[in-house]
Structures are given as C-alpha cells and as structure tokens.
Structure 1
Amino acid sequence: MSRSARAIPLDCLGPHARQQVDNVLYGAAVQKALRAEKKANKYGAKRTEVDGIVFDSAAEARRWSVLKLEERAGLITGLERQVPYAITINGEHIAKWIADFRYVRDGQTVCEDVKGVRTPVYRLKAKLVQAIHGIRITEISA
C-alpha cells in the first residue's frame, strides 16, 4: 500500500505528538553533532596549530618550533615535515612510515619521530625502515 507523504503542520498536533517530534528532531541533531566531533586520540595527543600548520600533538608542534629556530640560526638545513618512506619487500608494498621531520645537520640527514608511546607497530616499522633505507630514526620523547 503506497501513500504519498504530506507535511502536517506541527501546530495541528497535540502536545504528546509534538514532544515525540521534538525528541526525534533533537535526537537526530545530537547524533549529527556527535558524528561531526573528531574522535579523541587514544594516546591523549592533542592537535596543535603553530605557524598555520596543524600538528598531531603539542609535542610535535614544540619540536617544530625548536627546529625552525635551529634552521634560522644555520644549525640545520632542508627542514621538511611528514616525509613518507615506503616499506617494500620483494617488490611488494607492505606499509609506509612517515617521518615527523627530516633535515640535514653537520652534513648528515636526520629523520626524527616525536614519540609519546612506542607501539609494537612503530617498533617494527622503525626496524624495517632501518633495514630497507639504512635510516636510523632519531626519537624525540614527548
């Protein structure tokens, strides 16, 4: 049985029916707002903005500020952030690791990762990046 939908003015409804409509509309609005909220980081990191750049954590933002000062002072050159490294074995892409920062100090390339928690996945990726790319990751404690 098919019916065409018709709009019914809310003022035609009794108080109980109006309350039900309000509950449905309010519930939908609350659900939409909850979906819009960003999921909190499970390790407690808070996104932080510095120099118009949004960092995954306040510790990473602080490190960026220090490295920018070192770059201005001429202690480091070629400062980059979020540099990806492919983890490929026997021609098959397994994963990627993203360095928080990469720069050159005293002629040596340095790859840094700001770490609050050294997860098992991170430890494995760090070993693979070292084995494949010959890169030793410098860990900066949060």
Structure 2
Amino acid sequence: MAKIFFASSGASADALISSSPALKKAIIKARAIARARKSSFCVKSTGKIPHTKTLLDGYTFDSASEANRYVYLKTLEKAGRISALCIHPGFTLQPGFKDRLGRARRAITYIADFSYEQEGLSIVEDVKSDFTAQDKVFRIKSKILCFQNPNIVFRAVKYHRGAWIEI
C-alpha cells in the first residue's frame, strides 16, 4: 500500500482516502496543481523497490533522486551548458504487430528519464540506484536502445557522496 503525503506539511492522507472517493480524486488532481518544490506532492511506495514519486514543475518523477537530477539539469540548461532538455522521452524499440494467429502484440517501448544536447552530442539519461541498475529489463532495453540509435550517448547516473556519477 502506498503512503500519500504532502511534502510541505508531511500530513498523511491514508485515512482521508479510505473515507471518501471524492477526496481521493481531489488528491490525485493535487499532483497536477502542485508546482513548487516545497508544495510538491509525493507518494511513498512500500513495494519491492521503495521510492517516492514526486511532482515538480508539472512533471511526475519516479523518485526523489530523479527529481533532484531534473533540478540539476535545469540549472545546467539555464547556464547554457546543455540545451534541448526533454523530460521522459519515449523510444519505440519494436513496433506493435499481429502474430500468425491474428493476435495483436504491443510495441516494446523504453521511456528514459531525460534527454538533452551537450557539445553536439545527443545524450539520453536514466537515474538509477545500485539496485535498479541491475534490473535485467533495464539492461536489455538500454542495450537495444543503444544498438538502434548509435548516434546517442546513453548514461545511467546515480547520486553518490555529493556528486552525480555514471554507473
């Protein structure tokens, strides 16, 4: 079960959600309204990979680390060191098709965290922890992405000891 709270107050909304479906819809809408970092809307996951979904500048990030990377890249963009910053760019690794029996098969897609231009290079980034970097699906999809798009540079990054490093 996810635990929902507002980052500015830290107030839990679990009891409110269970008491009113209308309030649940209002809390979901609050994710789209919150813009400033202090009033960002967060959802804490207690699943296999604990993370905090964070809304910042109208974007929903899968983790607080990813939101921090966004702030860092926005700073670089304002300083002119990178350009064309794109949030959650999607790539089609294999188009959808119908098999011999006529069953529709979905396309295989990869949604990265960020893409941008730096010194003439197209860079695609994913923010990972040590645990999520070992995910087999991530590793396979990133290899297919690099194979199909030899003109891009793919980076998996993490925040370690006060700096962003490439994994």
Q: TM-score, normalised by structure 2?
A: 0.58
Match in the other structure for 1:127: 143
Quote the Cα distance in structure 2 between the aligned partners of 1:69 and 1:136.
Answer: 21
Give the structure-1-normalised TM-score.
0.67
3-state secondary structure, aligned to 1:110: strand
Given the superposition, is the C-alpha separation of residues 113 and 38 from structure 1 closer, same or farther in structure 2, using an over 3 Å criterion? closer
Q: Distance in 2 between matches of 1:38 and 1:104?
A: 32
Seen in structure 2, the aligned counterparts of structure 1 residues 115 and 38 have a Cα distance that, compared at 3 Å, is closer
Equivalent position of 2:78 in the other structure? 72
SS in 1 for 2:84: strand
The CA deviation at 1:39 is: 5.9
1:32-90: CA deviation from partner (whole Å, max 9, x where unpaired): 8399798644211111122243211000000000000000000000000110011127x
Whether 1:46 aligns to 2:47 is no
Distance 1:87 1:41 in 2: 28
**Alignment gaps of 5+ in structure 2:** 1-14, 25-42, 98-105, 160-167
In the aligned structure 1, how far is the partner of 2:122 from the partner of 2:80? 15
Within a 5 Å distance, the mapping from 1:49-128 to structure 2 comes to 49-88=55-94, 94-116=107-129, 117-118=132-133, 119-128=135-144
SS of 1:47's partner is strand
Task: For structure 1, list consecutive stretches of 5 or more residues without a partner in the other structure.
Answer: 1-29
Match in the other structure for 1:139:
156
Q: CA separation of 1:96/1:38 partners in 2, compared to 1, >3 Å: closer, same or farther?
A: same
Question: Bigger shift: 100-109 or 38-47?
Answer: 38-47
Taking every aligned residue pair, what percent have the same amino acid on both sides?
32
| Partner AA of 2:56 in structure 1 | V
Shift in alpha-carbon separation, 1:114–1:38, aligned structure 2, 3 A: closer
Q: Within 1, Cα distance between the matches of 2:47 and 2:88?
A: 18
Higher-Rg member (1/2): 1
